[in-house]
Amino acid sequence: MWKEFKEFISKGNVVDLAIGLIMGSAFTAIVSAVVDGILMPIISGLTAGVDYEDLAVNFFGAKLQIGSVINAIITFLIISLFLFLIVKALNKAKKEEVVEATTKICPHCKSEINIEATRCPNCTSKLEGFSEEIK
């Protein structure tokens, strides 16, 4: 059982996922700090000193934390924008793999044949590069 567990953990997908989750958590903390420490004070300054973090509404005795929701929405939008830009850049940088052809079409019977064939195995027609010599 221990051996199976080691094989499972050592697979690249599990390790990649764990690293991605840890990096995502760290990035979320950074973005939250930027939103709380920089963006929200700027927004507060632009809106005549209204502090959105403390913005709350009493609703039948319950305190609804509207400022926290606004803060979470801004954080979400920043993270989403950043991830979109990363994925877009990665897709642009990713080069399409050039796949070399391994087959060709017989000009006589239109069958798909090996690209190195000099005679069609289906219709036995002689193709480009055909010679009577046996190699």
pLDDT for 18-55, tens place per residue?
888 998 888 888 888 888 888 878 877 887 776 677 78
Indicate whether 7 and 51 sit together in one domain.
Answer: yes
- The total of structural domains in the chain comes to 2
**C-alpha to C-alpha distance for 105 and 35, rounded to whole angstroms:** 60
φ/ψ of residue 94, rounded to 5:
-70, 120
Q: What is the pTM of this model?
A: 0.50
| Domain annotation covers residue 135 | no
Query: Cβ distance 62 to 26 under 8 Å?
Result: no
Q: Which domain holds residue 28?
A: 2-93
Residues 70 and 48 in one domain: yes
**Residue 31 to residue 26: CA distance in whole angstroms:** 9
Smallest CA-to-CA distance from 37 within 75, 65, 64, 63 is with: 75
pLDDT tens, position by position, 60-97: 989 998 888 888 888 888 888 888 888 888 888 877 66
pLDDT digits (tens, 9 = 90+) for 2-26: 888 777 777 767 778 888 899 888 8
In a domain, 33, yes or no: yes
Please report whether residue 44 resides in a domain. Answer: yes
Q: Which of 118, 37, 90 is CA-nearest to residue 127?
A: 118
73 and 121 co-located in one domain: no
